[in-house]
Amino acid sequence: MRKTLFALLSILVVVSMLLAACKSEEKPTQTPPPTEAPPATEAPPPTEAPPPTEAPPPTEPPDTGPPDLTGETITIYHFGDLSGPYAAITAPLIHGAEDDLFPVRHARRMYEAAGEPKELWVIQGFGHGNPAEAFSAEYRARVVDFFDRAFTVEQ
C-alpha cells in the first residue's frame, strides 16, 4: 500500500508541476480611453457638370477597293466545329498524306462536316508542315481557284 500511495503522490506532484509550468499568466488588459469624434466639417459646394459637347459628323472612308495583295502570303486558320454555326465559314482543307501528327481521316471527317463550298486536297508524300512553302505555285493556284469559286456572286 505504501508503494501505491507513493506512486499516486508522485504522479500528482508531476502533474501539478506541469500544470503550473504551462499556465499562462493573465495580464490585466487596459482599455484605452474613448476618443472624441472629430469636429464636423462643412460639405464642399456642389460642382457643376461640364456643358455637353457635340460629336463630330461621321466621316466615311473613300471607296478605294480592296488592297493589292499581289505577292503577299495569305495564311488561313480555322479552328472549331465545322458542323456548327461556323459551317458557313469555308476554306480549302489541305492535308499531308504522310502527316505523323494528325491522320488523314481527321481531314476527311472535317471535309464531310463542312458546309458548301468545300474542297479537300490531300498532298501525297507530304507530312505535317506548311504546304504554302513546299508547293507554293500549286498551293497559290488551288487556293485562289477555290476562293474564286466560293465567293463568286452569280447575277
Q: What is the pLDDT of residues 111-130, one digit of tens each?
A: 888 777 788 889 888 888 88
pLDDT in tens, 18-58: 777 776 666 667 777 878 877 878 877 888 888 888 887 77
Residue 20's Cα: distance from chain center in Å? 61
- The confidence score (pLDDT) of residue 86 equals 47
Residue 75's Cα: distance from chain center in Å? 22
pTM above 0.85, yes or no: no
Q: Any idea what DSSP says for residue 81?
A: -
H or E stretch at 121: strand 120-123
